[in-house]
Amino acid sequence: MHSHHRGHLVYAARGVLSVHTERGTSIVPANRVGWTPAGFAHYHRAHSRTDMRIVFLPPSLARLAPDRPAVFTVSGLAREILLTLTGPREHDRAARGRLHRVLVDELREAHERPLHLPEPQDDRLQAVARLLDDRPSDNSSLAELGQVIGASARTLSRLFHNELGMTFYQWRTQLRIYHALVLLADGHDTTRVAHSCGWANPSGFIAAFTELVGTTPGRYRAAGQRDQRG
């Protein structure tokens, strides 16, 4: 029932963005586009050399998009439209309207590919999250982390399952991939990123990254280096 509101799309022409809401953090690397409907409290964070673009959709088109924050795979055409709409050239209203319509069509065809880090509510989970956010390469088991914060592995495991809907290891992998995206956007090479995010060998990192992001770390990094156009 928010048809009179606009929502907005956020896109990284280069680098990686995160969109934070009370539900957690959505990670928007350069092969995704983030949608936030009107009325959702949120803030964006652009990492390092990120080139952030924002496109507001008029109410008539915003109603066609989901009524909650979402992250979509960005097609080549959608990417070009996002760059055109946020580029230096001014477009008249009619031209902008046509580009907006094609953009929304493209997004409706696209798959939602969220990279979502849910926000822990329980203070014991928050403590674990803080430890690993500061040191994503830490390979401590859940029991070892539990000793540091004073909770059993069993309790923590149950909290991860009940509150975040995933295992500790699934969650830790997502957190590490998030850190990896930022490091790759900064131009660090795959092997170095693998090690600084806790993988003993790069092949395990490449497999996990490719499964979650949909492209290899090398390709992702190369695309970021190549795309220096404004």
Q: Residues 29-88: pLDDT tens digits?
A: 888 899 999 888 888 888 777 889 999 999 999 999 988 888 998 999 999 999 999 998
Terminal CA-CA length for the chain: 37
CB-CB contact of 196 with 134 (8 Å): no
Please state the domain extents for the chain. 7-109, 120-226
- Single-letter residue type at 81: I
Distance, CA of 50 to CA of 188 (rounded, Å) = 15
Residue 26 phi, psi (nearest 5): -100, 130
Strands (DSSP E) along 112-204, which ranges? Answer: 116-118
How confident is residue 229, by pLDDT bands cut at 50, 70 and 90? very low
- pLDDT tens column, 147-175: 999 999 999 999 999 999 999 999 999 99
Distance, CA of 161 to CA of 151 (rounded, Å) = 15
Q: Which CATH number applies to 7-109?
A: 2.60.120.280
Q: Is 8 exposed, middle or buried (0-12, 13-18, 19+ CB in 10 A)?
A: middle
The CATH superfamily holding the domain 120-226 is Homeodomain-like (1.10.10.60)
CB-CB contact of 214 with 113 (8 Å): yes
